[in-house]
Amino acid sequence: MKIGVVGFGAASIGFISEILDEDHEIHVLERSKDIFSSSISGIRSDGKIFVSETMGGDMEIPLAIQNEVVDFYLEKLNPDDRREVKRGVSFDRRSRFFDLFYSKGFEPVNSTFWHIGTDKLSSVLTKIFEEFSTRNNLKFHFGSRVDDIDIEDEKIILRGEGFEAVFDYVVVAVGRSGHSLIKKVTDRYPEIVASSNTVDIGVRFEIPDHVVEEINEEMYEFKVRLKTKTGYTVRTFCNNPSGKVVLENYDDFVTVNGHSNSGGSSENTNFAILCTTRFTEPFRDPIGYGSYISRLSNILAGGRKVILQTYEDFIQTKRTKRLGRVKPTLPEGDYILGDINLVLPRRISVSITEFVEKLSEVIPGISYPDNLMYAVEVKFYSNKINNSRYKNLKFIGDCSGHTRSITYATGHGRLTGYSLK
């Protein structure tokens, strides 16, 4: 079969690794100019690989496959770097933090993780790329952004600037950054949308390392959820000890994210505080909702920048004019001091405030007045795609709406590849 793979990220790596030995002609169409240029992805930034039954996606990826995915990535490191990879367990039942959080109403989320670090990821990616490139049945097409997909008879047609290509089978693996392509396709073929109702919106929180030293040391990544009084569930996500806050670039707006190198690169810890927003009929555009809020923060910040505010000013709903003891790790040109309350809907900011106050009952320094908040951080779940509608067009990884982590996206790719055997 002639197979088209749109996007070269975690999901396509899983898919390709499963079908490479089969008798197929595989074409990878990636919009970036090379393997490193795509900024928005955990396999290019941070690289924490989790094994968890409750986190990383809403589909079932058997634990055996998740562990194979971890081994697959770790094996790409050279032996010295592999030995240095930090491994940790978030909320082992025996951890004293488990009871502390539980008693305050939090749900501690259990997972095992390995942290490769941004600095080591490029060698992992290079190794994978080199291994794939030696195969005669696989061809990479960089700088090939797919803008449109047509389903015609038994064929799938991919179109982009200056090209049109016809395939027997296509997997779309464009991650969250490919949301405009997914929107176009789901508008045209609404029958492939299984549901479309969720987006996670919130802030990136930044505090000095010493405030969370104990919990960072024990588990590196702490993941908790809280059902707040508004009815919204709020959670921590992507904790980066000694890490940096970064911009996440989309075509038409920027949001905020965080990462850390294997050895740490600052004296601050950052993590996301995200509020899960679910909509009911007739609203069917959570991506539009998240995009508008992101764009609003950019408009107020005067361009492709985010808004930075101290926690105290956020609570008092007034613009931050000067910072306190915590020095931002996001470069100065990427933010404007402002008021996040002008951006986030009230229900979300009230939920986040309750979450931070509750968190400070377990870790008191969390609510220090000069701690930093950057807005907005958004996790687009994408429409959930019904992959059984067309037998030769599959959506895998984050763009399918069913995964949101390296392990789950790669596992999804592997399961999809396996079904072709």
Whether 340 contacts 309, CB under 8 Å: yes
Q: Which is nearer to ligand FAD, 88 or 178 (CB)?
A: 178
Q: How far is CA 303 from CA 40, 295, 319, in A?
A: 19, 9, 18
Which position among 200, 248, 339, 377 is part of the footprint of ligand FAD (CB under 6 A)? 248
Which position among 27, 204, 223, 259 is part of the footprint of ligand FAD (CB under 6 A)? 259
Instruction: By CB under 6 A, tell whether 406 contacts ligand FAD.
Output: yes
Instruction: By CB under 6 A, tell whether 200 contacts ligand FAD.
Output: no
Which position among 4, 24, 46, 301 is part of the footprint of ligand FAD (CB under 6 A)? 46
Task: For residue 376, say if its preceding peptide bond is cis, omega within 30 degrees of 0.
Answer: yes
Rounded to an integer, what distance in angstroms lies between the CA atom of residue 217 and that of residue 152? Answer: 55
Instruction: By CB under 6 A, tell whether 45 contacts ligand FAD.
Output: yes
Instruction: By CB under 6 A, tell whether 11 contacts ligand FAD.
Output: yes
Q: Which is nearer to ligand FAD, 32 or 291 (CB)?
A: 32
Q: Is the dihedral of CA 386, 391, 395, 396 positive or negative?
A: positive
Rounded to an integer, what distance in angstroms lies between the CA atom of residue 367 and that of residue 55? Answer: 26
Candidates 21, 66, 53, 16; CA nearest to 173 is 16
Which position among 171, 173, 226, 272 is part of the footprint of ligand FAD (CB under 6 A)? 173
- Tell me the closest approach of the beta carbon of residue 260 to ligand FAD, in angstroms: 9
Instruction: By CB under 6 A, tell whether 177 contacts ligand FAD.
Output: yes
Which position among 3, 4, 5, 8 is part of the footprint of ligand FAD (CB under 6 A)? 8
**Residues 225-244 interacting with ligand FAD (rule: CB under 6 A):** 238
Whether 299 contacts 276, CB under 8 Å: no
Instruction: By CB under 6 A, tell whether 208 contacts ligand FAD.
Output: no
- Torsion angle in degrees (nearest 10) through CA of 106, 110, 112, 115: -20
Which position among 24, 76, 120, 145 is part of the footprint of ligand FAD (CB under 6 A)? 145
3-state SS class at 29: strand
* Count of positions (residues) in the chain: 421
Q: Which is nearer to ligand FAD, 8 or 271 (CB)?
A: 8
Indicate the DSSP class of residue 258. E
Task: For residue 114, give both structure tokens.
Answer: 């390995």
**Which of the ranges 148-156, 340-348, 357-365, 396-404 carries the binding residues for ligand FAD, by CB under 6 A?**
396-404
3-state SS class at 65: helix
Which position among 16, 29, 109, 149 is part of the footprint of ligand FAD (CB under 6 A)? 29
Instruction: By CB under 6 A, tell whether 117 contacts ligand FAD.
Output: no
Total residues contacting ligand FAD by CB under 6 A comes to 41
Candidates 390, 306, 378, 304; CA nearest to 340 is 306
Whether 205 contacts 186, CB under 8 Å: no
Instruction: By CB under 6 A, tell whether 9 contacts ligand FAD.
Output: yes
Rounded to an integer, what distance in angstroms lies between the CA atom of residue 105 and that of residue 102? Answer: 5
Residue nearest to ligand FAD (CB): 9
Binding site for ligand FAD (CB under 6 A): 6-12, 29-32, 38, 40-43, 45-48, 50, 145-146, 173-175, 177-178, 181, 238, 248, 257, 259, 397-399, 404-407, 409
